């Protein structure tokens, strides 16, 4: 996955943002937002792995309860999806990560930059043509509490061949270029892939093979994780390209604690 792709630390990525037209102080703000967003996701990923079996048990209990309710309220057989689905849904993982982000923040020092960034889950987007239940809601949003600038991540499960289409489709990467309530107009956006089958290295390769061109791999010196990003076209929005990060969270059976 890393062959031929340059690595960037915070200083190098900051220079890239400035070369793309951001003022130095503006670039510094977005660098902070980006780095802390990744810290939140990485920390929450680790906590969810630690409690993965309990998480699966909770989901199974919900499914059994839904199946029993369906049997009580209708003579028809319960929907097959209730009975057969075994892997967590995208929403299950996203909400659990969000709860763990609160723990990550609570464990940080009061002077930590984490305290300046607030994570949100399903935070509605203001739009001229949508409101209420029709509002579009990104999966995870990280908001700078002083400036209110936001880095938005849209999540998708990575399971099989159809997952790439969903990841790159209108409800995946397309959320950031849609003229109907685009998820972000900022210079940095993100995709969050939940790897449930195969492995992270192979999924990075599959994303590359699908046509995504990784410009660099961002590796903050403060984190034991590196995340590739690509430049995402937003011509339809009359905006410059955004740096789109592709964070793949490893939730395969071999990665989770038993």
H helices then E strands: how many in the chain?
7, 8
For residue 223, what are its two tokens?
């984190």
Using only C-alpha atoms, the chain has a radius of gyration, in whole angstroms, of 19
CA 211 from centroid of its chain's CA atoms: 20
| pLDDT range class, residue 75, cuts 50, 70, 90 | low
Give strand pairing partners of 149.
Answer: none
| pLDDT range class, residue 121, cuts 50, 70, 90 | very high
- Between β-strands 7-8 and 214-218, what pairing exists: parallel, antiparallel or unpaired? parallel
Q: What is the pLDDT of residue 38?
A: 96
Kindly state the average pLDDT of the residues 67-78. Answer: 64
For residue 100, what are its two tokens?
């763990």
Of the two residues 5 and 80, the one the predictor is more confident about is: 5
The span from the CA of 160 to the CA of 232, in Å, is 24
pTM value? 0.90
Query: Is the confidence at residue 184, as pLDDT, over 90?
Result: yes
Query: Is the confidence at residue 78, as pLDDT, over 90?
Result: no
CB 151 within 8 A of CB 188: yes
Average pLDDT of the chain to the nearest whole number: 90
CA distances from 61 to 50, 69, 85, 129 (A): 19, 12, 12, 39
Q: What is the pLDDT of residue 202?
A: 95
Q: 241 in helix, strand or coil? A: coil
CB 223 within 8 A of CB 46: no
User: Which range has the worst mean pLDDT, 35-44, 75-84, 111-120, 137-146?
Assistant: 75-84
User: Which range has the worst mean pLDDT, 74-88, 123-137, 176-190, 238-252?
Assistant: 74-88
Q: Which residues contact 233 (CB under 8 A, 6 or more apart)?
A: 177, 241
For residue 177, what are its two tokens?
């270029």
Query: Is the confidence at residue 186, as pLDDT, over 80?
Result: yes
CA distances from 45 to 19, 124, 147, 151, 248 (A): 32, 24, 27, 18, 10
Query: Is the confidence at residue 77, as pLDDT, over 70?
Result: no
Of the two residues 191 and 87, the one the predictor is more confident about is: 191
Q: What is the pLDDT of residue 74?
A: 63
């Amino acid at each position: 996955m890393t062959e031929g792709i340059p690595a960037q630390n915070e200083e190098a990525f900051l220079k890239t943002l400035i070369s793309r037209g951001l003022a130095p102080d503006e670039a510094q703000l977005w660098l902070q937002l980006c780095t802390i967003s990744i810290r939140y996701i990485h920390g929450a990923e680790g906590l969810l792995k630690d409690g993965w079996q309990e998480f699966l048990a909770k989901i199974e209990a919900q499914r059994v309860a839904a199946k029993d309710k369906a049997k009580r309220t209708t003579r028809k057989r319960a929907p097959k999806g209730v009975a057969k689905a075994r892997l967590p849904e995208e929403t299950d993982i996203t909400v659990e990560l969000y709860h763990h982000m609160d723990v990550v923040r609570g464990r940080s020092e009061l002077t930590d930059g984490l305290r300046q960034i607030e994570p949100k889950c399903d935070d509605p987007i203001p739009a001229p043509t949508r409101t209420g239940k029709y509002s579009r809601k990104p999966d995870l949003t990280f908001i700078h509490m002083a400036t209110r600038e936001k880095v938005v991540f849209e999540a998708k499960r990575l399971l099989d061949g159809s997952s790439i289409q969903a990841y790159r489709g209108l409800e995946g990467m397309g959320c950031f270029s849609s003229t109907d309530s685009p998820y972000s107009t900022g210079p940095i956006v993100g995709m969050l892939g939940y790897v449930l089958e195969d492995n992270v290295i192979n999924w990075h390769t599959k994303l590359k093979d699908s046509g995504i061109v990784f410009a660099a791999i961002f590796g903050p010196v403060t984190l034991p994780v590196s995340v590739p990003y690509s430049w995402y076209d937003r011509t339809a929005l009359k905006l410059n390209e955004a740096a789109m990060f592709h964070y793949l969270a490893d939730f395969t059976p071999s990665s989770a604690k038993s």
